[in-house]
Amino acid sequence: QLPMTAAPTADASAECVTRHKALGHKLGAIVTPDRHIGPVETFAAAAKDKRLKLHRDSFRDADFDARATLRTLMAMDPRPTAIVALQGEAAKLADAAISLKIKVPADLSIVAIRDRSATSPAVSAAFSTIHIDPRPMGELAASLLKTWLVEGKPLKADRRLEVGSWIERGTTGPAP
């Protein structure tokens, strides 16, 4: 039995929410494909736990229109002051913000969920990220497998392993 992880970005998500609340953000948005994505759901749970209101904007993968999404979100009353999205969508949202003359982070903060194992687009801005590094999970799994196969000691219980980290950069700012 190999190690199981639960909510491997829970601490990073909680740190991100705490920081945004400290900056005065009261309503955020999650822009996500309309399928289950673990780190997105973990962020939503952290926001709920810390009482940050969230608006969820879901789309089918092929149908994402960053400009239309931003127009819709910015027209809401009240409107979200921070958006969390997977890095590919975050990059498109940042580009759309430039074309719509929305200043990041003065008018809107953007957080990218960055999975190091996935190919991500080149971006012009240094995104604040919930960074996912799968290396620690692979190292732990290899070590436990080696212990099991070489020493005959099977894993007796699951291990919790945080593979996410909150990295604040230039796309996070105070709520307008």
- Which amino acid, residue 117? S
For residue 146, what pLDDT is reported? 84
Indicate the Cα dihedral angle 30, 72, 52, 97, nearest 10°. 70
Sheet architecture: strand order including 164-167: 53-59, 27-33, 82-86, 109-115, 128-132, 164-167
Residue 72, helix vs strand vs coil: helix
pLDDT in tens, the chain (176 residues): 555 555 589 999 999 999 999 999 999 999 999 999 989 999 999 999 999 999 999 999 888 999 999 999 999 999 999 999 999 999 999 999 999 999 999 999 999 998 654 555 555 568 999 998 877 777 877 887 788 889 888 777 677 777 889 999 999 999 99
Number of H helices and number of E strands within the chain?
Answer: 5, 6
For residue 170, what pLDDT is reported? 93
Question: Residues with Cβ < 8 Å from 171, sequence gap 6 or more?
Answer: 94, 104, 105, 109, 110, 111, 112, 125, 126, 127, 128
Question: Residues with Cβ < 8 Å from 45, sequence gap 6 or more?
Answer: 7, 10, 13
For residue 15, what pLDDT is reported? 97
Residue 30, helix vs strand vs coil: strand
Residue 152, helix vs strand vs coil: coil
pTM: 0.83
Other beta carbons less than 10 A from residue 73's beta carbon: 20
